[in-house]
Structure 1
Amino acid sequence: MEWERALAAAKKEGEISFYGSQGYEKIFEVFQRRYSEIKVTSNTIRQGSEHGQAVMSERRAGKYIVDLFINGVVTPNTVFYKANILEPIRPQLILPEVVDESKWWSGKHHYADPEGKYVFVFQGNVHGGENAYNTKLVNPKEFKSYWDFLDPKWKGKIVTYDVSRVSTVAHALRFLYNHPDLGAEFVRRFFGEMDLVYSRDERQMVDWLGTGKYPLAFFVSDIEDAAKQGLPVKFFEPGHFKEGAFVGPSQGGVNLFKNAPHPNAAKVAINWLLSREGQDTYQKVYAQLHDIRQSMREDIAMDVIPPTYRRQKGVRYIYAGHPEWLDMAPVTKVIKEAQQAAKK
């Protein structure tokens, strides 16, 4: 059987090396316990772009140190894919439970590269506008669509995270800009007409929301903790709006490098990571780190994912991992133009 052959060869290689975001080293502690003959070496301290620079420097020096990259999808597209140093993932998938696409969201595997074969996406977090309201001042039933936020009565009453910090709000901005029913027109009017108040301090935003200084907040995440402390604040659930929400990765993609030093161990690691055990471990480890990461797998428990963040049946979802949507320049341009026009 192919799995047994790959596992035997992996044990002979005796090592797997990966670069990734913080937290994956804890996930692979479970892998290490299961496959004790395969030593795990990782670097999860650097940022994604720094990993990109490191890999390219190593390659230019003729050094092939790392097997896998487990992180977001931007660096793989802008650096590794362009440099043609990735291997297709599909030929690496051998466990039946991984190969079976019916076990994954929308009945298929998802990729985030132009050819749909190099950057495998296993994270399926729900993203919307990441917006919240003061429960004493706002009736959520007034909002059936994102366009309802443009009602003049909310002018000057919305606090939003400073969108000049693009990386922090990128997912929500991609949602608004790329949504077929919202797009540039919504973004232009929201940032140009609504006299938004900007903050770079999320705690301040939640405080303002809780005291009612601003009854609505956009691009905010720390709402649940504030609600538990008794503040009258609540998220609009993504399914609340007719536009629905996006599903996609932030730091949940896996890539295999060409000329990987431990190709069989890499194959075993990919299959384990994408297995039920691997994806269950993935969700639980990040939950312990107070970071919500929902798997694209549909056949594992979702207990550690708060109900607000879970994919729900009957809600309209659009896949957000399209590589052409990664470029933030178009939406940033629309926002800046709208803000400048509003100042005139």
Structure 2
Amino acid sequence: MKNASNKVRLYLFAGVVAAFAGALWFQPESAFSQTKPAWQERWEKVLADAKKEGTVVVLGPPGDLIRNAMTEGFRKAYPNINMEYSGRRSGEQAVKLGAERDGGIFSADVFVGGPTTANFQLKPMKALDPVRPALILPEVADVKYWRDNRHEFSDTDGLYDLVFVGQVSAPLIYDPRQVKREEIDELYELLDPKFKGKIVINDPLVSGAAVPVFRFIWETLGPQKATDYYKRLRAQAGAVDRDQRRQIEWIAQGKYAILVAPSDGVMAQLLQRGIKFEVLEDFKDHGTYIGASFGTAMLINKAPHPNAATVFLNWLLTKEGQLLWSKAMNHVSRRLDVPIDHLFAYTIPKPGVKYWIGYSEKAQTRTPEEEKILKDLFAR
């Protein structure tokens, strides 16, 4: 009897378990589906609103290569959002943007350009929104994907200008038909009388590549020696120019022998097009610096398409977006998973080498003394 009683209990228990399992089986899927991660819910809403906006207006560097890379790449990723891309020198973009805003026109969403423009033109006109809150996708927001395990910002607030490029910036280029490398690979060799009238200088009074180059010289030599160097270098120059493409072409054409402070971005685009000149990646006595070139991203405030701006920003900072940017601009991405085998060797930072960081707002802020000297020497 005892065995029979145990069997009855066992059968009853098995029946209860089966019934409970059956009830679970027929529960609707939603009862067990986990809540979506917060980032995903936010992303889906931003993406839906961006599709309603339909357009994102991006102000970026000049050149067909980068224009095509950005517009075609973004179109493939987000075919329901049209990109309007306007490419020109960052300083010129900022002047145009400022004039439009003064007239009550707010037409731009995203600004991709140089840190000098960000900190000394756009930030003072209060044209920027914080970037960090707009980083949504995990592969963008997680710092493990980025060099030094952090998001880098050029501005001292650490809010407005996200740096996604960090590469060795060449202080000069030269025409090998007129100059041998060993004649100019030390800083003071540029002051040799034989180069008088053969040097063109990228104007240091406008935002762009010349700002960090001259700041590097000032910080490296110190105020007294740098002041003397500025004066003597200015006397050597056959021209001071603001057109970053033209001045590089002058070297390729042989009109001048040496260009001080070439634009990294423009230089790379012209090298890719087969324009011939040589690059001095650093001075063997004083080295060089790490720059960002055009590789920083900002969100324009009062933007007409804020959700589309967020979508573009996140896409640009993904591995896919960064690889397209890197190939078009020959820039070294700060993302650790972006290949570097397509880059010019001189742009890649060497392990163990200490470089001056030239893209920060602090690094690019001139002292009043330096500002006065440069204006006295280069003002038109």
**TM-score, normalised via structure 2 length:** 0.67
From 329, 332, 338, the equivalent of 1:300 is: 338
Comparing 98-107 with 166-175, which one deviates more in the overlay?
Answer: 166-175
Match of 2:286 in 1: 243
Identical aligned residues as a percent: 24
Mapped to 2, the partners of 1:99 and 1:318 lie a distance apart of 27
Give the residue type in structure 2 aligned to 1:84.
Answer: K
Specify the SS of the correspondent of 1:304. Answer: coil
Specify the SS of the correspondent of 1:40. Answer: strand
Q: Quick one: structure 1 residues 331 and 305, their matched pair in 2 at CA, closer, same or farther if it must change by over 3 Å?
A: farther
Contact conserved, 1:177 with 1:184, CA < 8 A, in 2?
no
Q: Quick one: structure 1 residues 8 and 338, their matched pair in 2 at CA, closer, same or farther if it must change by over 3 Å?
A: closer
Match of 1:289 in 2: none
Q: RMSD of the TM alignment (CA)?
A: 3.9
Q: Quick one: structure 1 residues 174 and 137, their matched pair in 2 at CA, closer, same or farther if it must change by over 3 Å?
A: closer
From 80, 84, 87, the equivalent of 1:37 is: 80
Match of 1:19 in 2: 59
Mapped to 2, the partners of 1:142 and 1:14 lie a distance apart of 52
Deviations 1:83-119 (A, max 9, x none): 3342211111122222233433333222222312111
Answering whether residue 93 of structure 2 is matched by residue 53 of structure 1, we say: no
Contact conserved, 2:94 with 2:122, CA < 8 A, in 1?
no
Match of 2:299 in 1: 256
Give the residue type in structure 2 aligned to 1:56.
Answer: R
From 118, 129, 133, the equivalent of 2:171 is: 129
Mapped to 2, the partners of 1:160 and 1:293 lie a distance apart of 26
Q: Quick one: structure 1 residues 320 and 41, their matched pair in 2 at CA, closer, same or farther if it must change by over 3 Å?
A: same
From 269, 272, 294, the equivalent of 2:315 is: 272
Contact conserved, 1:98 with 1:274, CA < 8 A, in 2?
yes
Count of equivalent residues: 317
Which runs of no fewer than 5 residues in structure 1 stay unpaired? 287-291, 340-344
From 277, 280, 285, the equivalent of 2:328 is: 285
Residue 191 of structure 1 and its aligned partner are, at CA, apart by 4.1
Give the residue type in structure 1 aligned to 2:281.
Answer: E
Mapped to 1, the partners of 2:179 and 2:308 lie a distance apart of 56
Mapping for residues 70-85 of structure 1, pairs under 5 Å: 70-85=112-127
Contact conserved, 1:245 with 1:316, CA < 8 A, in 2?
no
From 226, 238, 256, the equivalent of 1:198 is: 238
The structure with more radius of gyration? 2
Answering whether residue 133 of structure 2 is matched by residue 95 of structure 1, we say: no
From 162, 187, 190, the equivalent of 1:120 is: 162
Contact conserved, 2:116 with 2:359, CA < 8 A, in 1?
no
Contact conserved, 1:128 with 1:244, CA < 8 A, in 2?
no
**TM-score, normalised via structure 1 length:** 0.73
Mapping for residues 163-174 of structure 1, pairs under 5 Å: 166-167=205-206, 170-171=210-211, 173-174=213-214
